[in-house]
Structure 1
Amino acid sequence: MLVAAMAALACAPAAGAVAAEPGSLQGEVNAIKGTGSVGVVAESTGPRGHRFATAGQADSSTGAPAERYDAFRIASATKSFTATVLLQLAGEGRLSLDDSVEHWLPGVVSGNGNDGSRITIRQLLQHTSGIYDYTADLPVFASTAGFLADRFASYTPAQLVAVAMRHAPYFAPGAGWKYSNTNYILAGMIIDRVTGHTWQDEVTTRIIQPLGLRHTRVPGTDPFISGAHLHGYSNFGSGPTVDVTALNPTVGDAAAEIVSTTADLTTFYTALMRGRLLAPAQLAQMETTVPAPIWPNARYGLGLWWVPLSCGGGYFGHSGGAPGYNTLAGATPDGRRAAVVASTGDGDADSQSALDTLLDQQLCQAGR
């Protein structure tokens, strides 16, 4: 629920925002802009049709406004793509979700109490492996100075996993739930091993091309976003705000590398929920969830959050947070309603609440 200061924004749009009726998509985008975001783009689809709204700037240095088709770093929403490929491979009989990590990646998960023979692919995808999150131990995510020093550094997946292996696991495999990007770095490595192709190639040929996601890229080592895009801005909690758009995406790899748009993410999550990418058995496994105490009453499946809606039921989707970028995307289980929103800048303590509210209200209103 929005705090009083946020509610006031419905009557007084933020600077650079289009005036809108309270409760409208534009009003909700204006509210996000009012929390300190630089630019915001959003789309909503359902039986009532297709809507989009924008607020703020795509580039604060030029004053260029945020536009509907601007691309952005989707960060951890990448996980839904990676998990989909692994579930496709399971459906083809090329692996089992109950295979151990050790079976496919001998010796990679070891040391300091880590044991890949006790961790399954399913546990990687559901964040129940207990493996340490490597992002907590990289300077590029820690401070403005660390980011500026390392933003163009290139990492291999093995190097990222090695960072995590310097730490003991959070808990024994299957004994708890803890979000860890390392799980999806390993998932990408397993895709590489099973198929003989990179996970980037598999996502491209299995998802991006068949769905016609023309503005979705898996950029590899390219630190720049081509074409029209939102610039990201961050002060990493203190110090001056800097443009953080340029970043070597290998630091996110199969956990957070993809660049996309609200339109393409809408197409992806809608297609996923409608069974266009997975057979019923694999989609059912993807949607089998465990409690995930980050959002109230939220649960986590295999590369998907399940989040309850105020109007009843819930939606499947994913959030994504990278320096300077924040994304939230989701669709109802029948795929008839979907909403996606992306914002740039650090915002403030109310920013995530405002994004959550947009998805809740749009997915509820779209069904009325």
Structure 2
Amino acid sequence: MPTLRTVLSIPVLVALLLTPTAPGATPAAGFSDTVLPLLVSEGGAPAAALLAQDRHGTRRAWRYADAGRGIARADHFRAGSVTKTFVATVVLQLAAEHRLSLSDTVEQHLPGLLPRLRAGTRHSGEESRITLRDLLTHTSGIADFTDATQGLAPLTPLQAVRIALTLPSGRAGHHSYSSTNYVLLGMVIRQVTGRSYAAEAQRRIIAPLGLTGTSFPGSRRSLPSPHGRAYAADGSDVTELDPRVAGAAGELVSTLDDLDRFYAALLGGDLLPPRRLREMLDTRAAQGAYGLGLYPARLPCGLTVWGHNGRIAGGYVRVAATADGGRVLTFRVNTDAKTDPRLERALLAAEFCPRTWQNERAGNGDPEPGHSFE
């Protein structure tokens, strides 16, 4: 099995840099395209694919797979927690329309849903003062219902919240990633608009941007065509899945093209007013770890990229983009097995920091350990 040092050797990188691209031809492979095979050869994924684009519409699509278990650029796949960026965008649009405020409490919109908080959390003995901003930034202290279900049990939103409330609470005001927060936001969207989060996302985001490969499947277990297969960590085929295992926290089905287009439009200012987009990128409430439906990753060259990842049974996807949306990369593997987080960080660094990446490879340094959010 090749090592990082072997595959990412200087001769390979120099050849990639010097490969000419004829006008109108597919752009030459970039450094991220060189790292992509490692998700299969070293990360153990059956297949991996990426699609990168810039503001000029230049695109590069690459895929790498073990024999017989490939995935294609046009495939539909489950995007997991990338759903959270869509839900957060809807909430921020509603805030911009003054239909809700991020300082509103959950109690105002969903009265009686959250019980009095247990001793040791926020205001013991008082009604919950958890706000919508707390939900968006994962600072509510509400436990993650998937800790109990492992993302395998189809649930109604109310069932998911009730399960979460039986689990130990986190520390309010401290960032602790919990899918329950976004299930609650989905419930708030319905309460405010009279329509589901899926219907609102369709009306406000999917239709206007022409994301023809993106959908909220509800209870439909099958994926739209075309699609490849999805594999659990033990190698079993889990392509068929009830999306209610994740709901508003991870139901989305999409494509590489659509996710690139969505994040480019979002960060480019096409979906939110400037003030609300700035709020989305403000990580202070979450101690620098998370904004509102997005999280930052600082790369070795000093550049910070924004996006989200998603892990759901049978797949993992990661989207990262420059702060202005001018350059976007989406990659995916068709397994939920966890791999060395350095591979993800290496791929992002190779895409967004090519000169730094070249220098690091010249020094034969290994990629720095990265930070991965579920």
TM class, shorter-chain normalised? 0.7 to 0.9
Q: Which residue of 1 aligns with 2:208?
A: 210
**SS class of match (1:86):** helix
Pick the structure with greater CA Rg.
Answer: 2
Runs of 4+ in 1 over 6 A off after TM superposition: 19-22
**Higher strand proportion (structure 1 or 2):** 1
Give the deviation of 1:314 after TM superposition.
0.6
Distance 2:98 2:117 in 1: 33
The correspondence for 2:77, drawn from 50, 72, 83, is 72
Q: Which residue of 2 aligns with 1:160?
A: 160
The correspondence for 1:88, drawn from 63, 69, 93, is 93
Give the deviation of 1:347 after TM superposition.
4.6
Give the deviation of 1:230 after TM superposition.
3.1
Give the deviation of 1:32 after TM superposition.
1.2
Alignment check: 8 A CA contact 2:137 2:286 kept: no
Number of residue pairs matched? 332
Distance 1:338 1:181 in 2: 25
**SS class of match (2:128):** helix
Change beyond 3 A, Cα 1:365–1:53: same
Change beyond 3 A, Cα 1:339–1:265: same
Q: Which residue of 1 aligns with 2:199?
A: 201
Unaligned stretches of 5+ in structure 2?
A: 10-14, 18-28, 358-374
Write the letter of the residue equivalent to 1:45.
Q
Write the letter of the residue equivalent to 1:72.
F
Distance 1:326 1:164 in 2: 24
Unaligned stretches of 5+ in structure 1?
A: 12-18, 142-146
Percent identity of equivalent pairs: 37
Alignment check: 8 A CA contact 2:222 2:240 kept: yes
Give the deviation of 1:357 after TM superposition.
1.9
Does 2:111 correspond to 1:106? yes
Q: Which moved more, 1:48-57 or 1:99-108?
A: 48-57
Distance 2:216 2:8 in 1: 37
**SS class of match (1:96):** coil
Distance 2:74 2:127 in 1: 42
Distance 2:286 2:46 in 1: 30
Distance 2:348 2:194 in 1: 38
Q: Which residue of 2 aligns with 1:53?
A: 62
Give the deviation of 1:109 after TM superposition.
1.4
Give the deviation of 1:234 after TM superposition.
1.5
Write the letter of the residue equivalent to 1:7.
R
* TM-score using structure 1 length: 0.84
* TM-score using structure 2 length: 0.82
**SS class of match (2:65):** strand
Distance 2:7 2:238 in 1: 28
Q: Which residue of 2 aligns with 1:144?
A: none
Q: Which residue of 2 aligns with 1:120?
A: 131
The correspondence for 2:352, drawn from 355, 363, 367, is 363
Change beyond 3 A, Cα 1:76–1:366: farther
Q: Which residue of 2 aligns with 1:243?
A: 237
Q: Which residue of 2 aligns with 1:256?
A: 250
The Cα RMSD (Å) is 2.6
Q: Which residue of 2 aligns with 1:183?
A: 181
Q: Which moved more, 1:46-55 or 1:242-251?
A: 46-55
